Amino acid sequence: MNDAFNDNHLSSPEAGPGHPNFYVNLFNNLPVALYYCDKEGYISQYNEAAVALWGREPVKGTDRWIGSLELYRADGSRLQPDESPLALAVRAGHAIIAEEVSIVRPDGTTRVIMASPRLIHDAAGGLLGAVNMLTDITERRHTEVRMAHLAAIVDSSDDAIISKTLDGTITSWNDAAERILGYTATEAIGRPITMLIPPDRLNEEPQIVQRLTRGERVDHFETQRVTKHGAIIDVSLTISPVKSKDGRVIGASKILRDITLQKETERLIRESETRFKIKLEQEVVQRTGELLRTNEELERSNHELEQYAYIASHDLQEPLRKIQTFADLLKSSLHDEAAVELYFNKINVSAQRMSSLIKDVLNYSKLSRTESVWQRVDLNQVLLEVKSDFELLIEQRRATFTVDHLPEIEGDTQQLRQLLGNLVSNAIKFCEQEPHIQIFTSIVQVAGDTNEYDLYPGQYVQLEFIDNGIGFEQKYADQVFVVFKRLNHRHHYSGTGIGLALCKKIVERHKGAIKASSQPGKGAAFQMLFPLPQTMGSNRPTQP
Q: In terms of domains, do 73 and 55 share one?
A: yes
Helix axes 317-331, 337-366, angle to 10 degrees: 160
Whether residue 133 is predicted with pLDDT greater than 60 in this model: the reply is yes
301 band by pLDDT with thresholds 50, 70 and 90: low
pLDDT reported for residue 4? 38
Whether residue 399 is predicted with pLDDT greater than 90 in this model: the reply is yes
Number of domains the chain contains: 3
Does residue 510 fall inside a structural domain?
Answer: yes
Does residue 198 fall inside a structural domain?
Answer: yes
DSSP state of 469: S
pLDDT reported for residue 21? 65
Does residue 25 fall inside a structural domain?
Answer: yes
Cα dihedral 168, 173, 176, 179 sign: positive
Does residue 341 fall inside a structural domain?
Answer: no
Q: In terms of domains, do 392 and 524 share one?
A: yes
Does residue 115 fall inside a structural domain?
Answer: yes
**What proportion of the chain, given as a percentage, has pLDDT over 70?**
78
pLDDT reported for residue 19? 57
pLDDT, mean of residues 316-334 = 76
Condensed to tens digits (0 to 9), the pLDDT of residues 36-67 reads: 899 898 998 899 888 988 989 998 888 898 88
pLDDT reported for residue 402? 94
Q: What is the dihedral of CA 187, 190, 195, 196, to 10 degrees?
A: 80
Condensed to tens digits (0 to 9), the pLDDT of residues 404-442 reads: 999 999 998 888 998 998 899 889 988 989 999 999 999
Q: In terms of domains, do 469 and 528 share one?
A: yes
Contacts for 239-246: CB closer than 8 Å, 24+ residues apart: 239/208, 239/212, 241/212, 241/213, 241/215, 241/216, 241/217, 242/163, 243/215
> What is the overall mean pLDDT for the chain?
80
Condensed to tens digits (0 to 9), the pLDDT of residues 167-216 reads: 889 998 988 899 999 999 899 999 999 999 999 999 988 888 888 888 88
Does residue 241 fall inside a structural domain?
Answer: yes
Residue ending a domain, choose from 223, 258, 293:
258
pLDDT reported for residue 450? 58
Q: In terms of domains, do 170 and 50 share one?
A: no
Condensed to tens digits (0 to 9), the pLDDT of residues 266-299 reads: 888 888 777 766 665 667 667 776 777 677 666 6
pLDDT reported for residue 443? 92
**Whole-number Å distance between alpha carbons of 388 and 394:** 9
Contacts for 297-303: CB closer than 8 Å, 24+ residues apart: 297/158, 298/158, 298/159, 298/257, 301/156, 301/157, 301/158, 301/159
Q: In terms of domains, do 31 and 179 share one?
A: no
Does residue 60 fall inside a structural domain?
Answer: yes
Note if the pTM is more than 0.75: no
Q: Give which of 138, 131, 135 is closest to 46, Cα–Cα.
A: 131
Q: In terms of domains, do 72 and 124 share one?
A: yes
**Domain of residue 511, CATH code:** 3.30.565.10
Q: In terms of domains, do 374 and 455 share one?
A: yes
Whether residue 368 is predicted with pLDDT greater than 60 in this model: the reply is no
**What proportion of the chain, given as a percentage, has pLDDT over 90?**
22
Whether residue 7 is predicted with pLDDT greater than 50 in this model: the reply is no
Q: In terms of domains, do 65 and 147 share one?
A: no
Q: In terms of domains, do 221 and 126 share one?
A: no
**Domain of residue 213, CATH code:** 3.30.450.20
Q: In terms of domains, do 500 and 423 share one?
A: yes
Whether residue 528 is predicted with pLDDT greater than 90 in this model: the reply is yes
Taking residue 88's Cβ as centre, other Cβ atoms within 10 Å add up to 15
pLDDT, mean of residues 148-162 = 71
**Whole-number Å distance between alpha carbons of 259 and 520:** 46
Residue ending a domain, choose from 98, 119, 136:
136
Condensed to tens digits (0 to 9), the pLDDT of residues 330-367 reads: 778 888 888 788 877 878 877 776 676 676 566 656 56
Q: In terms of domains, do 124 and 16 share one?
A: yes
229 band by pLDDT with thresholds 50, 70 and 90: very high
Whether residue 12 is predicted with pLDDT greater than 50 in this model: the reply is no
Whether residue 449 is predicted with pLDDT greater than 80 in this model: the reply is no
Helix axes 413-429, 379-389, angle to 10 degrees: 50
Condensed to tens digits (0 to 9), the pLDDT of residues 451-502 reads: 677 788 888 999 999 999 988 888 877 788 876 554 544 444 444 567 788 8
355 versus 9: the higher-pLDDT residue is 355
3 band by pLDDT with thresholds 50, 70 and 90: very low
318 band by pLDDT with thresholds 50, 70 and 90: low
Q: In terms of domains, do 106 and 149 share one?
A: no
pLDDT reported for residue 404? 92
Does residue 273 fall inside a structural domain?
Answer: no
Residue ending a domain, choose from 258, 291, 318:
258
Taking residue 307's Cβ as centre, other Cβ atoms within 10 Å add up to 19
Q: Residue 40 is part of which domain span?
A: 7-136
pLDDT reported for residue 11? 41
